[in-house]
Structure 1
Amino acid sequence: MNEELLKWIYPKKYGYTWYTTLTYSLLFFLGIYIIFKILKKLKIKIDYKLAFAIFPFILIGSTLRTMRDALILTSLVFVTPQIYFLISLLTLTILFISKTIEQKFFIPYEKISFISGIIVEIFLLLTLPIYYFKALIYLIPLLTFFFLLVFNSNTKIENKILIFSQAYDASISYTAMKFFGYKEQHVLPNILFSLAPLETFLIIKPLIAILSIILLDYYIKQKDLNKYLKMIITIIGIAQGTRNLLNLLCLI
């Protein structure tokens, strides 16, 4: 395959650039807009039921990405940004099937979706060479600290989950880079790390999450859209953090 094309579709190997970052960002925003419209069409509310229904598929996306990093899977379908389209399509398909079953048999769609996703996720996890649990020695104290700090705060539960998802991602990235020699692939964090210590990442990501909540609550008054955008930010934190965690536990 053409070397220049590979640089666009396999940034883990070649590194992210401003061009790939901008392109992926535009595709991402277009994608979340389309998905929002599809959810409206399917008459799926943006609520805890939807979050419960899609949670396993966030993990599936992260696990498939790690399987590609481990070369268990070799297709470029499983790298960024293709993996996002794949998981979005899979999730929407399962949601559609689950809603159809709910309408005919009165089984809650979120339960059908969740159970289906968890079964697939367990199967995928069993294929990974997870063995390096030493990383948890560094991670557990950090995650416990953020969990207690965030969930003892006086804010809505969805805001707490959003903030913790970003703290979760930051904690895993920090641990991987600080103690195990991993390198950041993205442009903006690399600029930050060239100007300040790694520890600033642990502060900045949760602060950006808090700022996002403030801005969304101030500017986005439409309830469904507000919740949807918060859910997207939460998904990003969980997905990136889980992929990095699995890579670390497999020493990839």
Structure 2
Amino acid sequence: MGAGEFFQRYFVDPIKYNQGYNPVNTTVYAIILGIAVLLLYRLLKKLGIRVNETFFVSLMPYIFLGPLMRAMTDVGMLPRTYLTVSPGGYFVIAAFAIAALFVVWRHVGPGEKFYPLYRDVGLLLVGGLLFILIINLDKVDFRWSYFYYFLPALLAAEAFIWALSKKFEIIRNNRILFYTHFYDATTTFVGIQFFGYWEQHVLARTLIDMTGTPAVMYLEKFVILLPVVWILDRMMEDEDPDLINFVKLAMFILGFGPGTRNLLITLMGV
């Protein structure tokens, strides 16, 4: 198999034919993500931008852009191209977020004025997509029955994390991450169990096939998340707090982004 055929089979065809992820592209994308996290962290340090709660809030509009763009693509409001579905769509959103960061930083510097202005630029981008959504609402057949399944499942899942956070400090200190990833697991569980969707990621798809239930997503999330936050909090406590915060921010995005995409796609009847 030549390099071109290899790239076509493992990277182009899965996007073109909506085949989901495979072990090859999953590994490559994971490596790219790891490198990107380190490079972006160094960029923020160089620019003097702190990775704290204020930065997290200012970044939220950009985090929401990805799943919104994907849902609007799947419903037909945006053209389906390599740049509007994952992983290309996430590269596009990242490019917008980084470009906006540079523009705002050059305008006001890394001080307190940076964060609200950076947030507002992101809100303008979200507003643009929402405007396209509003003028194309005739293309959407909202599936409001989704919430009959989603809300009870979400409440049960988050109540479980809340109960654990009362007993275990490691979960209490990282409860936002656990809440977010159990939200993601819930959107996957409801979509597959009640609306006939399928899982695109290799590990999750394998676990679902082995157990026969998408509820295994909760266990997968917990088993992966717990040792990661343990390492970050207990074994890397002497590292730069901004680095730890940025890694946790990346983990939050990996839960919130796909979860919100799943929610929007199911709700919009895609």
Which structure 1 residue ranges, 5 or more long, are not aligned?
A: none
Other-structure match for 1:102: 108
Distance in structure 2 (CA, Å) of the matches to 1:140 and 1:183: 20
Distance in structure 2 (CA, Å) of the matches to 1:46 and 1:181: 39
More displaced stretch, 121-130 vs 29-38:
121-130
Question: C-alpha offsets along residues 193-251 of structure 1, whole Å, 9 cap, x if unaligned?
Answer: 12213222123313422222112113323122111111110111000101111111112
Q: Provide the TM-score with structure 2 as the length reference.
A: 0.83
Q: 1:145 aligns with which of 142, 156, 170?
A: 156
Other-structure match for 1:166: 181
Other-structure match for 1:19: 24
Distance in structure 1 (CA, Å) of the matches to 2:194 and 2:258: 19
- Percent identical pairs in the alignment equals 25
More displaced stretch, 119-128 vs 232-241:
119-128
How far 1:75 sits from its partner (Å)?
2.6
Q: 1:44 aligns with which of 38, 45, 49?
A: 49
Matched, 1:83 2:89: yes
Q: In the comparison of the two structures, how many residue pairs are matched?
A: 251
Judge conservation of contact 1:56–1:121 (CA < 8 Å) in 2. yes
Q: Provide the TM-score with structure 1 as the length reference.
A: 0.88
Judge conservation of contact 1:9–1:79 (CA < 8 Å) in 2. no
Q: Structure 1: which amino acid aligns with 2:202?
A: V
How far 1:65 sits from its partner (Å)?
1.8
Q: 2:266 aligns with which of 236, 248, 252?
A: 248
Question: C-alpha offsets along residues 9-37 of structure 1, whole Å, 9 cap, x if unaligned?
Answer: 46351232111111111111121121111
1:1-252 superposed matches below 5 A: 5=8, 7-9=10-12, 11=14, 13-71=18-76, 72-103=78-109, 108-128=113-133, 129=140, 131-151=142-162, 153-154=165-166, 155=169, 159-196=174-211, 197-221=213-237, 222=239, 223-252=241-270
Distance in structure 1 (CA, Å) of the matches to 2:30 and 2:159: 32
Distance in structure 2 (CA, Å) of the matches to 1:57 and 1:170: 22
Distance in structure 2 (CA, Å) of the matches to 1:163 and 1:235: 12
Question: C-alpha offsets along residues 44-103 of structure 1, whole Å, 9 cap, x if unaligned?
Answer: 111001101111101101111222323322331122222222222211222222233334
Judge conservation of contact 1:52–1:114 (CA < 8 Å) in 2. yes
Judge conservation of contact 1:10–1:80 (CA < 8 Å) in 2. no
Judge conservation of contact 2:21–2:200 (CA < 8 Å) in 1. yes
Question: C-alpha offsets along residues 88-133 of structure 1, whole Å, 9 cap, x if unaligned?
Answer: 22112222222333349x7622211222222322331343436112
RMSD: 2.5
Judge conservation of contact 1:150–1:163 (CA < 8 Å) in 2. yes
Which structure 2 residue ranges, 5 or more long, are not aligned?
A: 134-139
Sort the Cα spacing of 1:201 and 1:78 in 2 relative to 1 into closer, same or farther, 3 A: same
* Misfit runs of 4+, over 6 Å: none
Judge conservation of contact 2:61–2:126 (CA < 8 Å) in 1. yes
More displaced stretch, 207-216 vs 222-231:
207-216
What's the secondary structure of 1:74's corresponding residue? coil
What's the secondary structure of 2:132's corresponding residue? coil
Distance in structure 2 (CA, Å) of the matches to 1:201 and 1:188: 10
Distance in structure 2 (CA, Å) of the matches to 1:54 and 1:130: 30
Q: Structure 1: which amino acid aligns with 2:206?
A: I
How far 1:4 sits from its partner (Å)?
5.7
How far 1:151 sits from its partner (Å)?
4.7
Judge conservation of contact 1:10–1:79 (CA < 8 Å) in 2. no
Distance in structure 1 (CA, Å) of the matches to 2:221 and 2:121: 32
More displaced stretch, 106-115 vs 238-247:
106-115
